[in-house]
Structure 1
Amino acid sequence: MLDSLVAGALADASERRATRSLAEVESAALARPAAIDALAHLAPADRIKIIAEVKRSSPSRGALAEIADPAALARSYETGGASVISVLTEGRKFGGSLADLEAVRAAVSLPVLRKDFIAEPYQVFEARAAGADLVLLIVAALEQPLMRELYALIGELGMTALVETHSAAELDRAIDLGAGLIGVNARNLSTFELDQDLFGTLADRIPAGVVKVAESAVKTPADVAHYRAAGADVVLIGEALVTGDPVATLTEFLGS
């Protein structure tokens, strides 16, 4: 599934590049105001921090929410106390777009994450051109030399990379990269099964000073508390927010 998602994302990027060249996207990216410092917003604090996700659907769950107005949802997230807004921009399985990212960027003052299957520089320039402050890099989808190249480019553009891992071996690769923001995703990308305890088994391996993000399997305040007790600085939440009252849910989760 991951290979299919990456291939689809690259094919879609190739189509966009046919109408908007790399040079044009790079120029637009460099013309953007400076990216917001996401690490400052996600720095460890007395309570958990939340990356709130604009997410219409997923391969594992299908349609989740229509989200006709992603900007309005993002404003609700900001009101509810989120620290960062994540926007799915993959269209085939997640129903997202760069237009969603642009709308969210214009609507909130928080850092915005482009969550997609990033595997070439063009997509990184697209992210900054659309206003992203963070870009997701999935270790399982990238060979180390390419990941280093993309990680360096993200930094050169003033953005922050959220480096996502699913195992001890992938975590070692993220650490070797020097990542300052590392996520551990509870969802197995091959089977889509969830292991909420994976974060806890890997958290102690993450160096001091690195912001630790727990991803997936967050449906209740107890889930947030579970991750917090295991050492998470941040949790990334999508489904629970788009399928309920986002402000009330964030308020409840932040009190965990």
Structure 2
Amino acid sequence: MILDDLVAATTKRLVTEKSKLSLAALKAEVSQLPITKSTFAKTLQQPGLHIIGELKQASPSKGQIVTDFPYLQIAKEYALAQVTAISVLTEPDYFKGQLTYLEKVHQVTDLPLLRKDFTIDPYMIYQAKISGASIILLIVAILTDAQLHDYLHLAKDLGLDAIVEVHDAQEIRRALAANAKIIGINNRNLKDFSVDLQHSQQLRQLIPATIPVIAESGLKTPTDVKTVYQAGFNGVLIGESLMRAKNKVQLVQQFQAVI
């Protein structure tokens, strides 16, 4: 399964990154930062549909999505379109992301930033903090219950929000048991890459209304967005369709108009 390959690649990458900057040194850098608590979770609970615009060049399911990637300009367009947050891919092997993208986007916008990566080590959470993220992604399928619990607590201690990503009912139970404050439902089947919005709508019913839920993957049209909004989702994370759009501000406005 692709998640296994992603975890293997991330594990290998971390060995190199830790050899350049130790966890102790990284913690020391983070300790110099002010701990400003993210307000992203509270924002999601406000009425309306909250859009997370994503910055990515490629994905395992689609391959190369765009060859021209003026990510700072795109981030400014997202801000102009008044998205709620920006997701920045930092995984290099399959998504062609870089941590430096996150650092530089942080310099040009005050919007909440999600570090989109495959978090398997506390080191990556400290990296997210030092690079300007206010949100991290925790994927239940690649974490033990103990890791999920510990990483949520570490994120909270650093003032970060965490989107806990699930794919099925069992993972929802694990996320709720870990006291996840935000849950993301991935519409994509990671075994065959198919997308089923109906499946995610059914999963939404298993999550208490008090917990904000984000629909992830495969949302391409205003009709798709309207479908998940009517199913009770608080937000949507949209990447490919926005990256391919010539007028990103206009497309965001079309998504916003469905409510």
CA distance in 1, matches of 2:216, 2:195: 10
User: Per-residue deviation at 1:208?
Assistant: 2.7
- Listed as ranges, the matches of 1:34-53 within 5 Å are 34-45=36-47, 47-53=48-54
- Secondary structure of the structure 2 residue equivalent to 1:113: strand
Structure 2 letter corresponding to 1:156: D
Report if aligned partners of 1:32, 1:131 keep a CA contact under 8 Å in 2: no
TM-score (norm 1): 0.96
CA distance 1:31–1:69, shift in 2 (3 Å)? farther
2:160 is aligned with 1:166: no
Cα deviations by residue, 1:12-55 (Å, 9 ceiling, x for unpaired): 1220110111112112223234253211332231x211011001
- Secondary structure of the structure 1 residue equivalent to 2:38: coil
CA distance in 2, matches of 1:201, 1:210: 16
Residue 27 of structure 2: aligned partner: 26
Cα deviations by residue, 1:130-168 (Å, 9 ceiling, x for unpaired): 011000000011111111111111111110110000000
- Listed as ranges, the matches of 1:1-256 within 5 Å are 1-33=2-34, 34-45=36-47, 47-244=48-245, 245-256=247-258
Structure 2 letter corresponding to 1:243: R
Report if aligned partners of 2:90, 2:115 keep a CA contact under 8 Å in 1: yes
User: Per-residue deviation at 1:81?
Assistant: 1.6
Q: Which residues of structure 2 form unaligned runs of 5+?
A: none
CA distance 1:5–1:29, shift in 2 (3 Å)? same
Q: Which residues of structure 1 form unaligned runs of 5+?
A: none
Report if aligned partners of 2:222, 2:255 keep a CA contact under 8 Å in 1: yes
User: Identity, % of aligned pairs?
Assistant: 36
- Secondary structure of the structure 1 residue equivalent to 2:170: helix
CA distance in 2, matches of 1:150, 1:9: 17
Moved over 6 A (4+): none
Length, aligned pairs only: 255
CA distance in 1, matches of 2:97, 2:68: 10
CA distance in 2, matches of 1:23, 1:143: 24
Report if aligned partners of 1:221, 1:253 keep a CA contact under 8 Å in 2: yes
User: Per-residue deviation at 1:197?
Assistant: 0.9
Structure 1 letter corresponding to 2:10: A
Structure 1 letter corresponding to 2:15: S
Report if aligned partners of 1:26, 1:129 keep a CA contact under 8 Å in 2: no
